[in-house]
Structure 1
Amino acid sequence: MMKTVMSNEKVAFTGHRSIPFATINVLRQRISDCVENLYLSGKTEYLCGMALGFDLLCAEVVLSLKKRFPDIRLICVLPYRAQSEMWNAMQRARHSLILDKADEVIVLSEEYFHGCFLRRNDYMLKICSTVVAYYDGKLQGGTYYTFKKARENRLRLINLYSS
């Protein structure tokens, strides 16, 4: 496939932590199709906040696409260094594996502080042109905040959520 040469604008992911188990494979395919289309339009850099759920699923998809698109880049943006410290062992191992395979890891704070997750989301919104979301429309939480801010900033929004 031929990639359209355009300026490299970054893509950020935002989405809910909870994804119904029965929909994970369908969602994974939607993410893959979406990222492939964005890549073919010239977008090679993908920002991931590394939260459980949608974020980690997106990171894994980007890494899996490296086989076909070697110049695709995963940039992990951690709100604070020990983000996964309270997760279970399997979740921490998954997080660590993704960080090890990422092209770049940006740590915004050494320590946790109230508001660090929103700061991470604001950082990603400031440097991206497109947001791929998994947003259910509820007016609360970090995904709502990020989706709303992306809309206010007139960023391109792609919502992969379907009820």
Structure 2
Amino acid sequence: MKVLAISGYKPFELGVFKKDHPSHLFIMAAIKKSLIPMAEEGLEWVLISGQLGVELWAAEVVFDLHKDFPDLKLAVITPFLDQEMSWNENNKEWYQSVLAKADFIDSVTKKGYEKPWQFRLKNQFFIEKSDGLLMLYDQEKEGSPKYLYELALNYQKKHSYPIELITFYDLQMIVEEEQLKRSDF
């Protein structure tokens, strides 16, 4: 796999309202746990749309992995221009800090937000331009990732397209692993 798309829930869908909420560490640990074996097998690009939450945390993981995998690159391809316009200052700063370190930045549609079709076009682009998908998504809790997931499942019917889900159960396992590490068992 050369190009991996990563997506998942937005922060409010997880009940997380600050970038550095303690749960983000477990989400990042889960993403890292999935990414390391892929990077070891030659993953070259991680593709995100730059949305708040899982995607920006995934970007932070990619930057962290640069120490061990200096050739791993990050592409941020937004659905439309200026997607951060309505975000608060802290989120805008976080987003800008990710863009500043990204290896490639572009937008699927070269205009500002108009209609939901821009998100559908972005999802289609992500599936067609990547070799697989990693998502923080649990079918028990629908949310915005549902549309990308369903599109990927349909694409998978006709193409070799691996989809790896990080579920809430997986996150719980990460939390328990971290607690065991801290209690020195």
Give the deviation of 1:122 after TM superposition.
1.3
Alpha-carbon distance, 1:67 to partner: 1.8
Higher helix proportion (structure 1 or 2)? 2
Instruction: Name the counterpart of 2:93.
Output: 93
2:6 matches 1:13: yes
**Normalised TM-score (structure 1):** 0.88
Indicate conservation of the 8 Å contact 2:10/2:144, yes or no. no
TM-score, length-scaled by structure 2 = 0.78
Deviation at 1:91, TM superposition (A): 0.2
Unaligned stretches of 5+ in structure 2?
170-185
Count of residues paired in the alignment: 156
Unaligned runs of 5+ residues in structure 1 are 1-7
Cα offset for 1:121? Answer: 1.6
The structure number with the bigger radius of gyration is 2
Q: What is the DSSP-based 3-state SS (H/G/I as helix, E as strand, rest coil) of the residue aligned with 1:26? A: helix
Match for residue 152 of structure 2 among 135, 147, 150: 150
What is the match of residue 113 of structure 2? 112
Contact conserved, 1:118 with 1:142, CA < 8 A, in 2?
Answer: no
Q: Distance in 2 between matches of 1:138 and 1:86?
A: 30
The residue number in structure 2 matching 1:4 is none
RMSD: 1.6
Hey, what does 2:183 align to over in structure 1? Answer: none
* Residue correspondence of structure 1 range 56-95 to structure 2 within 5 A: 56-95=56-95
Tell me the residue number matched to 2:54.
Answer: 54
Question: Structure 2: how far apart are the matches of 1:27 and 1:139?
Answer: 16
Tell me the equivalent position of 1:123: 125
SS of corresponding position for 1:29: helix
Percent of counterpart pairs with the same letter?
22
